[in-house]
Structure 1
Amino acid sequence: MSSDSDLARELAEGAGRMLLVVRAQETDGPTLKRRGDAESHEWLMAQLKERAPEDAVLSEEGKDDRGRVDAARVWIVDPVDGTREYSEPPRDDWAVHVALWERGADGTGELTAGAVALPARDVVYDTGQPPVVPARSG
């Protein structure tokens, strides 16, 4: 069984791979913006429905389901962060964000898992394997 951090990473990576395919197929900037946002959103929603069906989802590109307010777990996604940059190949300064918020026993909540994929740079950061931050010098 994979962890929530693993799932966040898999979702961010998968959406990123799909976005690179769309980007290779489409040359019109406005169409690329629309297709990228829509297809990444739809793919992420389908994956979450299959792999985390009990969890709520808040997506920048989706209709807000107010049921998330009472949910114990909420996935928060931005299918394409930097849509304009995504639509301007060969720019590589765009990302896919996937995070999980969980309500604690005391009623408050916190982010417990997350991943940021930079597909055009072939880089993914996630909470399961956070990057090592160098020691501060001086």
Structure 2
Amino acid sequence: MTDADLAAHLAQVAGRILQEVRGSGLFSARALGKAGDQTANQFLCHALREVRPDDGLLSEEEKDNEARLAKSRVWIVDPVDGTREYGEARADWAVHVGLAIDGQPAIGAVALPDHYGGTVLRSDQPRAVPPAPETLRMVVSRTRPAKEAVAVAEKLGAELVPMGSAGAKAMAVILGQADIYLHSGGQYEWDSMAPVAVAAAHGLHCSRIDGAPLLYNQRDVYLPDLLICRKDMAGRILELVAEGGKEAGGRIPAPRTP
């Protein structure tokens, strides 16, 4: 099984497991998220250690380990991205399985188990991204839209599309449900690694909001911001973000070349 096949298979099976946990009817709304997270995490981590024993592993639901830092190949997983949406049986939650090689997001699969009966987007099977409409659409958090994103959307005349998980937002750009995903509210490597691998393979621009590259398997796994959009939009969006940072007192550095 190739790395790409493995990532997609694991993401899809974990999604089915999560649906079974939710459908069991045994957990309260408060307990469901934890039960789903832990169950899917056990499957993903045991499977990866069985079939890729020499690779490193980083999971949101496991204690971090120093051993991964010495590895060239490190699997980075998020068993349930969008726990609230998972519990509500919405479509905008995801399972992330990705492989970073020498810090780069090399392989990724993002499963959307409640999206049209189950969708898995893969870095090795890119599809054509639908053309942009006349009015641009930007996906933002359902509960805490980032100020930078809202400000950029206003300047672009873009419509805001509230959505749950980071993976669902990134995949929305690929699926033609949105055109821009701009985030600055704080994330970790497992939130973006697999989605970025998939989005980049589909020809989209992926970077930090100052244009810097997204690097993974770092000692500090906090990776607070990102931009995913069509490549022809990236320069203008990065400029607007930088302008907003200057207006706010220089909190955001000037954009780097995409």
Query: What TM-score comes out, normalization by structure 2 length?
Result: 0.49
Find out whether 1:82 has 2:106 as its counterpart.
no
Structure 2: gaps (5+ residues): 135-258
The corresponding residue for 1:111 is 105
Asked if the contact 1:102–1:110 (Cα under 8 Å) also holds between the matched residues in 2, the reply is yes
What is the one-letter code of the residue matched to 2:96?
H
Aligned partners of 2:133 and 2:52: how far apart in 1? 43
In structure 2, the partner of 1:106 is: none
Partner in structure 1 of residue 45 of structure 2 = 45
Cross-structure match for 1:127: 123
The separation in 2 between residues aligned to 1:33 and 1:132, in whole angstroms, is 34
Partners of 1:110 and 1:17 in 2: CA distance: 28
How far did 1:131 drift? 2.3
Say which structure is richer in strand. Answer: 1
Task: Say yes or no: does 1:25 pair with 2:21.
Answer: no
Distance 1:137 1:94, change over 3 A: closer
Give, in whole Å, the separation in 1 of the partners of 2:83 and 2:132: 34
Paired letter, 1:133: V
The residue type paired with residue 126 of structure 2 is P
Matched residues, number? 131
The SS at the match of 1:23 is: helix
State the partner residue of 2:94: 95
- Residue 65 of structure 1: aligned partner: 65
CA distance in 2, matches of 1:19, 1:68: 27
- The structure that has the greater radius of gyration is 2
* Larger RCO (CA within 8 A; separation ≥ 6): 1
Matched-pair identity in %: 47
Deviation of residue 135 (structure 1)? 4.7
TM-score, length basis structure 1: 0.89
SS where residue 128 of structure 2 aligns? coil
Query: 1:125: Cα distance to partner?
Result: 0.2
| Structure 2: distance between partners of 1:73 and 1:7 | 14
Letter in 1 for 2:114: A
Amino acid at match of 2:79: P
Describe the SS at the equivalent of 2:41.
Answer: helix
CA RMSD of aligned residues (A): 1.5
